[in-house]
Structure formats: structure tokens, C-alpha cells
Amino acid sequence: MSHLHAWLVAVDWIPWLLGPPLAHATLAFLLGPRLARLLALPVLVLGLVAASGLALRVLELGPQVHALGGWGAPLGIELYADGLAALMLWMTAAIGLAVGCYSLAFFSADDRRGTYFWPLAAFLIGAMNALYLSADLFNLYVTLELMGLAAVGLVALSSGAAALAAALRYLLAALLGSLLYLLGVALVYGNQGSLALAGLSLEANLLSSLIIALMTLGLAIKTALFPLHFWLPPAHGGAPAPVSALLSALVIKASFYLLLRLWFELFLPAINLPAAQFLGLLGAGAILWGSWLALQQRELKMLVAYSTVAQVGYLFLLFPLASFAPGAEAAWNGGVYHALSHGFAKAAMFLVAGAMLFAAGHGEIRRLGGLGQQLPLGMFTFALASVSLMGLPPSGGFIAKWLLLEAALASGQWWWILVMMVGGLLSAAYLFRVLRQAFLPTPADTRFRRPPAMLVGSAFLLSLVALGLGLWANGTLALLRVGAPFTEMTP
């Protein structure tokens, strides 16, 4: 055990998080789906090992810097990983592995969609890893753009006019988002003459306000913050289940991560309270409006997609909650914890929704009665993921909610407490619309097919991680503290 531990800490894992997925993507594209399937598991397992090793290394040795090809900044590209980045990388690797296992069963070897799925998914993972490791604004732009293009390609996998329209809408939103971000980058460069995140800091003036507005708007579009969420439900709800899981759990978190980095490193001196409160207000709107729409949905996957719109809202409560000294660290921890636990819970939920669709042959919620008997583990998985999304113990979602509420109370911002309470109850209301089906008899006209065991199994494992985040919060938070902007210790 100690040998393994020492080895994990000793290796510089950063290149291993970039090379293998990008190589996999290229090979999959060149040599076809058969080889892509063969390579998928080794590459994804290697990814998880590398992400775990990096997390351990960051925890024990502090933030890690890797000069790509031996060339440091400002000439070469310097990669950087602190606790936050390590956690996001680990989430990407773990969910990536589960989705990979799922997809091997979901796309049969001769499925046309599989031909494109493997290169695009591998490329997506590589791009996200690169984003988390990047430390200057231009590289962040490049990775953001690559990620967006791969994601749009994945959405277009579903055939049919609706899927194509969703993909097109997503493409436009993604391009608009990165364009706004790029404008901001250009203004920063013109003003400061440097793009490396470390050492940059904006002064409070009109130009800075413009930069903040542009970049925040661009990333808010990509994160699907209310009222800019229009593109998300059709894209996430219409894509094949493994793609929905990747998009809802991971892709929107990457742009949120970038926003966090910018606000708490680059923008911090130039930010005023109303701006933070405004972002929180949009978050509150997302929670209420997204939940309300989730309540109205008839299709299972659309319900889950609108739930994502609502859950994104909690992420944006971080900004107002972290703007006062008391509670800032709790808010930061809570927001990131929410990103993590939502990632695992939502990936599990989309995957299991795919299995349910497979089993029932349709996704109409009202006619899903009997699934409790036909797919008991699947229903249980859905329930576990729901517990985390509702913020009930024991789950990662509960820890996140606890921390966010703690921050709201400590800083005296009681209005966010009301939003979170109502949001929690609304999420219970829409999730129990599905869960109650477990107790209903099978409709007469429904014939069930047994889905491959891997479909439910991989979703179940992810829901267990969402649960586990609620039990091992101490270690996770210790990792998050490495290199964090708020380092005051809670008593």
C-alpha cells in the first residue's frame, strides 16, 4: 500500500492527463470504432489513475507546475494544478470512465453513432483536462473552444431534425460564448500585456468592468445560466444518454470553473457587491424557473435536463455568498462541492435514465410504472442520485447545501436561504414525480426489455460516489484547500 502511495506521489502525472485521451481521439478517428472500443478502457483507467495520482500529489506536495516540453512561461506553456483543478480532473476522469463503460454497452460495435462517439468523447475529455490545467487566458480560450466543438459534435450524434436543430442552437450559443470571452481576453492583453493568470490583476475602472462583463457573460452562456439556458434542455435532453451525462455533469462545469478562476484571481480587486448579487439573483432565477419547468416536463430526459438548469443556479450563489469575509470560505467550498456532487449525481441520473428508456422503450414519465420491479437497481440508483440533488443527507449535495447555508447565515444574507430552501423542496417535487412510479403497477401496454447490466451498473457506481462525497467530505475539502483563494480555517 505504502509503495503504491509513494509511487503515485512521485510521478508527474500532468502529461498523462493530456497525451492518452488526445492520442485515443486521433487513433479512434483514423482507425475506426473497433480499435477505439478496444483502447477505450485502458485509456480511461489510465486517466483515473493519473487523476488520482495528481490529487494525492497536490494534497501532499502542494500545487503542481509542469512546463510543457521544458519551456516555462512566458515563452512556453506552463500547466498548473491546485486542489480545485485536481478535484475537477478527478471528477472528469471518474465520470469519463463510467460513461466509457456504459457506452461500450450502449453503442453496439456496428452502431453508426459509435463511430463518431469515441473520437469526440476522447477529444472532449482531453480538452477538458487541458482546460483545468491551463494557467493563461489564451490557452484557456483554446481549450474552451475545443471542448465546445467536441460537445456540439456529440449532440449531433442523434439523428433527426430535432437533434440537428438542438446541435445548431448549441453551436451558436457556444461560439457566441467563446467569442465574448475572447473579446475580454483581447482587452486584458491590450491593457496588461500579459495573459498568464498568475500575476495578473485588474484595477477597478471602467475598462475592467467591461472586461468582467464580457467574459462573465460569455461563460454564463456556456454554463447555461438563467436566462441564457435556452440551448441546454434540447441539447442535453435530446442527445444519447452517455452524451447527456458528459455534457450535464462535466462540460458546463468546465466553463463554471473558468468563471471561478477569473472572479477569484483576476477580477477580485475590481469586483463590486452589486455584480456578485446580480449573479446570485440569476442563480436564484435558475433554481426557481428551472425547477418549475422540470415539474412540467413529460419526458424523463427533459426533466433531468431542466434539473440541470436549476442546479446550475446553486453554483452561482457562490458569488454573492463569497463576497463577505465571514462565510467566504464556506461559500467557496460549498459551491465547488456542489459542482462535484452534481456532476456525479447528474451523470448517474442521465445514465440510468438511458437504461430506463431502453427498458421501457419510451421516456414518458407517466407511463414508467412498474420500473421498480423491472429495474430495481436502476430505480435505486435514480433515488440515490435524487437524494444528492435534493441536498438530503447523506450525500455530497447535502454537504454542499450545508456549506452554502452556513455561508448565507454567517454573512447575514438570509434571502439566499429562502431560495435554497424553496429550491430543495421543488427539486424533491420534480424528482419524486419519477420516484413514485416505482410504486405503481406496470401499464398494460408496456413490454419491458432487459438492458445490459453495464448500463445500470456504471450508473449505480456513480451514484455511490455522490453518496460517498457526503461521507468523506473531510479529505475532499482538505484537497480543495490546497492553493485556494480563501485559506482562513474554520474553528
Least Å distance between CB 468 and other proteins? Answer: 12
Considering only CA atoms, which of 332, 226, 228 is closest in space to residue 282?
A: 226
Task: Give the residue with the Cβ less far from other proteins, 175 or 409.
Answer: 409
Least Å distance between CB 361 and other proteins? Answer: 22
Task: Give the residue with the Cβ less far from other proteins, 203 or 488.
Answer: 488
Q: Report the C-alpha gap between 287 and 255 in whole angstroms.
A: 18
Least Å distance between CB 426 and other proteins? Answer: 11
Least Å distance between CB 100 and other proteins? Answer: 27
Angle at alpha carbon of residue 300, lines to 295 and 305, rounded to 5° = 70
Least Å distance between CB 409 and other proteins? Answer: 5
Task: Give the residue with the Cβ less far from other proteins, 50 or 473.
Answer: 473
Binding site for other proteins (CB under 8 A): 372-373, 376, 380, 387, 390, 392-394, 398-399, 401-403, 405-406, 409-410, 417, 421, 424-425, 428, 432, 436, 438-441, 471, 473-474, 477, 489-491
Task: Give the residue with the Cβ less far from other proteins, 180 or 365.
Answer: 365
Q: Report the C-alpha gap between 482 and 480 in whole angstroms.
A: 5
Least Å distance between CB 425 and other proteins? Answer: 6
Task: Give the residue with the Cβ less far from other proteins, 123 or 382.
Answer: 382
Task: Give the residue with the Cβ less far from other proteins, 199 or 491.
Answer: 491
CB within 8 A of 483, min separation 6: which ones?
58, 62, 63, 82, 83, 84
Task: Give the residue with the Cβ less far from other proteins, 160 or 491.
Answer: 491
Least Å distance between CB 436 and other proteins? Answer: 6
Least Å distance between CB 289 and other proteins? Answer: 20
Task: Give the residue with the Cβ less far from other proteins, 2 or 490.
Answer: 490
